Structure formats: C-alpha cells, structure tokens
Amino acid sequence: MEDCPSVTAQHEKTIQYSLIIATLHDDGDLALCLASLVGQVDAPMFEVIVVDQNGDDRLLEVVDQFSGQLLITHERVSFRGASRARNLGGRLARGIWLGFPDDDCRLLPNALSEVSRVARDPQVQVITGQTIDEAGAPNVLRWKQAPTVFCRRTMFGCLTEATLFVRRDLFILTGGFDERFGPGAPYPAAEGIDLMHRMFEHIGSGKACYDPQIKMRHPSKIPPWNRWAVSRFHSYAIGDGALIAKNPKPHILNWGLRALVSALLQVFSFKGWKSAAFAARIVGLFKGFVTYHLASWRK
C-alpha cells in the first residue's frame, strides 16, 4: 500500500470525501480519471483509494505519477470483484462521504464542489449525479433533467454506482455492496440499485438527492450494436434478474416489468444486432431470476 506521507500527515483529520476506485485491466483510463481529480476546482479535502485487482505492477507508475498531487492510497488485492473492492475501500476510508467513480470516468472540474454544495444540507445522506458522453450529452441512463429528492420508486433514473456518494456511516450500517452483484461477481450488475434499496431501510428522515450539475464523463460503449453489445446486454440483465429475485418489492417488480416490456418492443422492431441485444436482455433477466432462486434453495 502506498500513499503520500506529506499530504497525509497534514490533512488526515480533515478529509471529507473518500473516492474509491476499483480497477482491473487498466489500459490508461485510470490516469485520465486521476488527472480529472487533480483538476477539481474549489473541492473539499478528499482522498483517493485505488483498489488494484490486476495482480501485477502495471499501476505503480500511474500511482507514483499522481502521489505528489493527490492523497492517494494504492491497495493491491488478490481477489477480483468490483463490489468486494469497493467494500474494502469503504473500510479503509477516512472520509465522512464515500464516492465510487469508475476507473474510466472523468469528473468535470466542478463535480466535487457541487457534491459538497448539496451535502451542506444536514438531512442529505445520499447524493447522485449524472454521466455524460464526450459531447456533453447524458448517457448510460435516461437521467432526470432537474434536481430532485428521490425515493425507492423514483431512484431508477437517478443513480449508477459511478455517480453515487453516500455517508460512510450509512454505507457501513447498510453492510455495503452485496458482493454477489457487480462486475466480476455471479450477478454482474445492479449492485447500485440493490445498495440504494437497502439504504432506504436505514435512512430514516434523511434525504437522497440527485443533482444533474454533478457530472462525470463516461464512455458510451453502446452503440455500436454488435456481438459484443449482445453479450453485454445479456450479462447485465443477469444482475437485473437476480435483483428482482432478491427484492420482489412493488417498485422493483414494476421496474423489472417495464424493462421486460421495453425489451420485447425492441425485439419486434427487427433491427438486427439491436433487436438481438434486447432478446439477450430478456434471456438474461430470466436467467438471473432463476439462478438467484436456485442458489438460495441450495443453501
């Protein structure tokens, strides 16, 4: 584990935010992500925890490059799994708030100052923003256009793991991410929705706030529609199906039904690879649902 001693000694007691970056198979994206953190304007004091799952030395040079500019910890692990890595980062964190940017995300220069602005409300326990593409257009989700306080029923257009900030005490109380969900796990998606669903059980009179002024650039990987897109849709849908099986609550069931109907409509639009991807999504939803129940019954 490596960090920056001079910065650590000076600011250890004043860290407000811990940004936990789980990384695997890095091909240069992490350096861009860290550079975006160096470029934060009017940001609160924050630390960066890189949980390195590569099993080799490929990130040593990158971490060393930024160690004089960021309060950075390089935690090398022998396991693989994004949720497990984020949970480890949460235990190591010293900040009041935790964030989980993807290693291929780049935070806009005012992102952390906007998070800090929203966090001034003492009732706020969870903060989310939106992802945008290189042109500045929202991507990944159909994000809500205006700031909002969201609930279980409305959370689906308000969060991904990369844009999620949560008070560390709430994260620990909730038990962190379910390590069966997320990249590298049996159910390779839906870990953020599952975590948020469980955090609402502990949030009490607190608030979960979405603000589109908190922006991160995230590459748009689909389109193009091709064989890889079909595989990705299927993989992510396994996580979604398992989420529905784990949490068969009305808001989750409604979300799952809407996803299923939307996929069916796309299948019958007969648009080549795009229709194939949505067909794979339907198969993945059922596979995740059944697999989760089978695993539960075996226990």
The residue extents of the domains of the chain are 17-217, 227-297
Token pair 């995740």: residue = 288
Q: Please tell me the predicted confidence (pLDDT) of residue 13.
A: 57
Q: Please tell me the predicted confidence (pLDDT) of residue 6.
A: 47
- Which parts of the chain sit beneath pLDDT 50? 1-6, 8-10
User: Which residues lie closer than 8 Å to 299 by C-beta, 6 or more apart?
Assistant: none
Burial of 264 (0-12, 13-18, 19+ CB in 10 A): middle
17-217: in CATH 3.40.50.10490: no
Residue 227's region, left for phi above 0, alpha for psi from -120 to 50, else beta, is alpha
Q: Please tell me the predicted confidence (pLDDT) of residue 10.
A: 46
Spatial contact of 244 and 253, defined as CB atoms under 8 Å apart: yes
Q: Please tell me the predicted confidence (pLDDT) of residue 7.
A: 52
